[in-house]
Amino acid sequence: MGVDLIFMFRVLVFPGFAFLLAFALFCDWFERKVAARMQNRIGPTYTGPMGILQPLADYIKLLMKEDITPRQTSRFLFTLSPVLAFSLFVFILFYVPIDGANVILASGFEGDLILVLVLVTVAEFAMFLSGWSSVNPYSGIGSTRILTQLLGYDVPLMLLALGPAFLAKSLCISTIIARQKVPFMLLIPWAFIFFIITLQAELEKDPFDTPHAETEIVAGYGTEFTGRKLAFIRFSKDIQTVFSAALLASLFLGGPCESILFGSSSFLCTAWFVVKVLLVIFVLEFIGCMCARLRIDQVVWANWRIMIPIAILSLILTVVCAPLFESLIG
Amino acid sequence: MATVEQAAVDILKEKLGDKILEIVTPRPRRAFVLVKHGFHRDAVSLLLEQFERAGISTITGIDLGDEIELNYHMRCHGAVITIKSRVSKEKPQIETITDLIAGATLYEQEVFDLLGVVFKRHPNLKRLLLSEDWPEGSYPLRKDWNPQDVKENPYNVHTGPSKINDQGLDGTTYTTNVVIGPQHPALLEPERFLFKVDGEVVVDVEPRLGYVHRGIEKGAESLTFLQDVHLIERICGICNVSHTTCFCQAVESVGEIEIPPRAKYLRTIVVELNRIHSHLLLLGTAGLVLGYESLFQYMFRDREPTLDLMEMITGNRVVPAFNTIGGVRRDLKPGLNEKIENILERFEKRMRFYKDVFQEDPTMRLRTEGVGVLKKSDALKLCVAGPVLRGSGIKMDVRKDDAYAAYDEIPFNMITYKECDCWARLMVRVDEIVESINIIRYAAENLPSGPYRVKVPRKQPKGEAISRVEAPRGELVHYVKSDDSVHPYRVKVRSPTLANIISFREIAKGGYVADIPTALISLDPCFACMDRMVFLDVNTNRSWSWRLDEMKSLKGEVNGR
């Protein structure tokens, strides 16, 4: 019984649902604030101190809005896909260590990195379905763009994720974290830099925000969504941002590891996690602010002609250099 | 050396002989040639043969009572030669000239729409500005038109949105229709485009204009010349100074008024300020359209000082009400020169930075280079104007060719780019801002002393004039006809966007969906300018906007059914 209570607490409160949702909202605010400052604006200021409650207020507003389902949509998919996307992303995040351990199993299992990457692809499919089911030309174009973009960045993403896995000789995220006496970012910077760029594509941020390019196809796959469903879609994007940043932090920045300086405690690990995730989000947002949007054919072209060869090269380079790093890997 | 208009008149006289009824050359670079019915095509083709870069500026239809007079304003190397032809009002029919010059397509549609002249063999003679359900046989620009007509045959509010004829857009399978507009995030103003899309590739496009009609041309006929200046100013929020300058020049030509040199310089300063802020607005919006939001925000921040400058000089930030017939309405305050210089200096530094951004940012170049190519020959054929023309490498600028205000005394460079793509069109504007800064500097330093306006009688003598101005978006044409009264007999406005929009089909076809907004923004479309014409109000004769209570009652009516 006692074990179950702890388990329930971990899943529902910390570091599970409640914490993750609150953190995702905070990250949303952080993103907006960073983008605003980069663009010479002030960003949210009104709700809560420095506007920190603005994302929450937005979601509450969305939840209260009328929920419209256009007549010709396939009702089942239209309702299911936002929820599916949201729950998949939350589920994936449960596999990433947050307070030193991940939410479901204390230390993960061999191969959970693969599972996580596969689930991300499935979640992208849910996003695609959401647009495809809404029978709107803008959504249609937007969702085909999601798939086209996925074709481009998915392969390099997986190849680049293999670099740290190879160094750590494990496909378990917790093990990869535990083996990073020195963050892998410093050992294999080539993989790190390109991993950030592919993440940018996965998160649909500039220069890869083609699937929801406002000035071309309105809101892309999300055009027909309103109210609660829109809230779910938006929220799944927020969670995806946190997940991507957390994945990067885990694979390359050492994740929420037992810090050499401060020792290990659940609190400090979480603090490390938060700091690293915010750092990554800052970098992602920074890149986004500096770029114009690419065209979908340019995205695919760049991914197949540039990113995939680079990903393979970086993997080879990692394999070649691995013996040099023996002493630096725990 | 014979002047251009003299050469044109000579060749017309020689070839057409007694087919020419009347020739008037009232001013340098202007000629009005009245030809017999049926010979306008010969006259137009003669001019096109004679002048390599000739094109059509616009067609003005005027209701003369029993007849409708068509004025084909041809731009020939800086001069405007107007070919006039008259058709009877009973059976207004005339041969089209679209096979001679493709750029006339929209202008003929416009005359058909508003005056009911049928152009025989026109490829696509459909409504241009009025809505599809406007009653047949009601032509608002005819003098005997009565708004009552429309009230008695009210257009049906329940027919749904105007339908776009699918003709010419089918034939390809696996295509989707994508409608962009009237409301769309890429459009800052309402206009509708129907795209036939095959995957991500645009197969064809059909624009539908006319969503922002206000009937300004008709309205101008019922106001006095002086009141019209303020009405004309409201054609467009952004390039309003160009419009008033152009209108005032036209009226000054009719009344043979010589404005003092100081007024010319002051007009130049304000027109150039207007150009700077218009170009910055466009370049910023281009950033937004390309998904480059930071650029957009920065550009709009740096646009502020130019608006402040405008306020210091004229008293208003955007719509300055500065021009008037016979000069300008305010003098430059003493000590302002220094402030202008300070602001311009800081501003010039920022422009150097933006030029680097446009030239060097890789994502920016990826999205604009090679996109929306408008070949030099096509640009001439379609008679586009302004930066679109110069982005296709054609040296044509009204400020140089047909100098007005103080441009004949101020040195500046004409910017052209040879690339013919969206990037070239945007770069033309970036460089033109720098030129404008130099023009303002020069004008402020060499400002002549003396009065800044002359008194002008309210009544203008009988006559007609055509005036051209290089607005931020290109050649702006105003035609004014006076009938020895305080009201103009006819005012015709041809905004540069109407000249440019015709090329949109050419530059969007075969491109990607993602390039549609880029292609559109590179034309710097201003739909408010383009659609200024028609008077949709059926309730009263004089007002052209709905009052709030009228809107409310209309809403009740719609809901009630």
Quote the pLDDT of residue B227.
Answer: 87
Contact A39 B287 (CB under 8 A): no
**Mean pLDDT in chain B?**
80
pLDDT grade, residue A26 (50/70/90)?
very high
Contact B366 A298 (CB under 8 A): yes
Contact B297 A296 (CB under 8 A): no
Identity (one letter) of the amino acid at B18?
A: D
Question: Considering the domain boundaries, does residue B264 fall inside one?
Answer: yes
Our CA-based measurement puts residue B132 at a distance from the nearest CA of chain A, in whole angstroms, of 25
Burial state string for B347-386 with b = 16 or more CB within 10 A and e = fewer than 16: beebbeebeebbeebebbebbbeebbbbeeebbbbbbbbb
Chain B contact present for A291, CB below 8 A: yes
| Residue A72 pLDDT exceeds 80 | no
pLDDT grade, residue A29 (50/70/90)?
very high
| Residue B542 pLDDT exceeds 60 | no
Quote the pLDDT of residue B160.
Answer: 46
Choosing from B88, B123, B145, the residue where a domain stops is: B145
CATH of the domain at B427: 1.10.645.10
**How many other C-beta atoms are found inside a 10 Å radius of the C-beta of residue B464?**
24
ipTM of model: 0.76
Residues 6+ apart with CB under 8 A from A65: A226, A227, A228, A230
pLDDT mean over A13-21:
82
Please give the torsion angle defined by the CA atoms of residues A209, B202, B388 and B269, in that order, rounded to the nearest 10 degrees. Answer: -40
Quote the pLDDT of residue A30.
Answer: 92
pLDDT grade, residue B174 (50/70/90)?
low
On the CB side of A60, how many CA atoms lie within 13 Å of its CA? 6
| Residue A82 pLDDT exceeds 70 | yes
Whether residue B112 is found in the same domain as residue B234: no
Quote the pLDDT of residue B560.
Answer: 34
pLDDT mean over B353-382:
84
Contact B288 A206 (CB under 8 A): no
Question: Considering the domain boundaries, does residue B431 fall inside one?
Answer: yes
Q: What is the percent of chain B with per-residue pLDDT over 70, rounded to a whole number?
A: 88
Our CA-based measurement puts residue B186 at a distance from the nearest CA of chain A, in whole angstroms, of 4
| Residue B246 pLDDT exceeds 70 | yes
pLDDT mean over A259-264:
51
Contact A296 B512 (CB under 8 A): yes
CATH of the domain at B97: 3.30.460.80
Question: Considering the domain boundaries, does residue B327 fall inside one?
Answer: yes
State the count of interchain CB pairs (< 8 A) between A and B: 85
Q: What is the percent of chain A with per-residue pLDDT over 70, rounded to a whole number?
A: 92
Chain B contact present for A40, CB below 8 A: yes
Question: What is the number of domains present in chain A?
Answer: 1
Beta bridge partners of B426: none
pLDDT mean over A274-299:
85
Whether residue B501 is found in the same domain as residue B356: yes
pLDDT grade, residue A148 (50/70/90)?
confident
Measured CA to CA, the distance from residue A100 to residue A259 in angstroms comes to: 10
Choosing from B122, B145, B168, the residue where a domain stops is: B145
pLDDT mean over A318-327:
79
Measured CA to CA, the distance from residue A161 to residue A140 in angstroms comes to: 31
| Residue B537 pLDDT exceeds 60 | no
| DSSP string across B456-520 | --SSB-SEEEEEEEEETTEEEEEEEEE-SBSSEEEEEEE-HHHHHHTTHHHHHTTSBGGGHHHHH
Whether residue B119 is found in the same domain as residue B259: no
Q: Which of B243, B251, B281, B303 is nearest to B528 (CA)?
A: B243
pLDDT mean over A284-294:
84
User: pTM of the full predicted structure?
Assistant: 0.80
Residue of A nearest to B293 (CA): A289
| Residue B541 pLDDT exceeds 60 | no
Of B298, B364, B512, the CB nearest to A295: B512
**How many other C-beta atoms are found inside a 10 Å radius of the C-beta of residue B460?**
28
Q: Are B120 and B41 in contact (CB under 8 A)?
A: no
pLDDT mean over B119-128:
83
Q: Which of B335, B331, B330, B344 is nearest to B276 (CA)?
A: B344
Q: Which of B146, B134, B321, B112 is nearest to B213 (CA)?
A: B134
**What one-character DSSP code corresponds to residue B102?**
G
Question: Considering the domain boundaries, does residue B191 fall inside one?
Answer: no
Least confidently predicted of B50-64, B174-188, B215-229, B387-401: B174-188
Which pairs count as long-range contacts for B306-312, CB under 8 Å and 24+ apart, including other chains? Answer: B306/B273, B306/B276, B306/B277, B306/B280, B306/B343, B306/B347, B307/B277, B308/B343, B309/B273, B309/B339, B309/B340, B309/B343, B309/B344, B310/B270, B310/B273, B310/B274, B310/B277, B312/B336, B312/B339, B312/B340
Residue of A nearest to B365 (CA): A292
On the CB side of A229, how many CA atoms lie within 13 Å of its CA? 24
Our CA-based measurement puts residue A69 at a distance from the nearest CA of chain B, in whole angstroms, of 21
Our CA-based measurement puts residue B136 at a distance from the nearest CA of chain A, in whole angstroms, of 34
pLDDT grade, residue B153 (50/70/90)?
low
* φ/ψ bin of B29: left (φ > 0), alpha (ψ from -120 to 50), beta (otherwise): left
- Whole-angstrom Cα Rg for chain A: 20
Question: Considering the domain boundaries, does residue B561 fall inside one?
Answer: no
Strand order in the sheet with B55-63: B20-24, B30-35, B79-88, B67-76, B55-63
Quote the pLDDT of residue A69.
Answer: 81
Distances B441 to B131, B245, B273, B341 between C-alpha atoms, Å: 46, 20, 11, 7
Our CA-based measurement puts residue A111 at a distance from the nearest CA of chain B, in whole angstroms, of 37
pLDDT mean over B434-447:
89
Of B291, B296, B517, the CB nearest to A209: B291
Q: What is the percent of chain B with per-residue pLDDT over 90, rounded to a whole number?
A: 2
Contact B292 A292 (CB under 8 A): yes
Residue of A nearest to B516 (CA): A216
Our CA-based measurement puts residue B192 at a distance from the nearest CA of chain A, in whole angstroms, of 14
pLDDT tens, residue by residue, B391-426: 888 888 888 888 888 888 888 888 888 888 888 888
Question: What is the number of domains present in chain B?
Answer: 2
Q: Is B119 helix (H, G, I), strand (E, B) or coil?
A: strand
Identity (one letter) of the amino acid at B198?
A: D
Measured CA to CA, the distance from residue A322 to residue B342 in angstroms comes to: 60
Measured CA to CA, the distance from residue B43 to residue B24 in angstroms comes to: 15
pLDDT mean over A311-328:
82
Whether residue B499 is found in the same domain as residue B351: yes
Quote the pLDDT of residue A264.
Answer: 58
Give the range of the structural domain holding residue A6, as residue numbers without chain letter. Answer: 2-328
Q: Which of B223, B498, B464 is nearest to B383 (CA)?
A: B498
* φ/ψ bin of B122: left (φ > 0), alpha (ψ from -120 to 50), beta (otherwise): beta
**Mean pLDDT in chain A?**
82
Whether residue B339 is found in the same domain as residue B459: yes
Q: Which of A218, A228, A224 is nearest to A145 (CA)?
A: A218
Residue of A nearest to B188 (CA): A215
Contact A292 B367 (CB under 8 A): yes
Choosing from B145, B176, B202, the residue where a domain stops is: B145
Give the range of the structural domain holding residue B437, as residue numbers without chain letter. Answer: 216-530
Q: A-chain residues within 8 Å CB-CB of B186?
A: 214-216
Most confident residue range from B270-274, B336-340, B519-523 = B270-274
Chain B contact present for A72, CB below 8 A: no
Whether residue B135 is found in the same domain as residue B249: no
Chain B contact present for A158, CB below 8 A: no
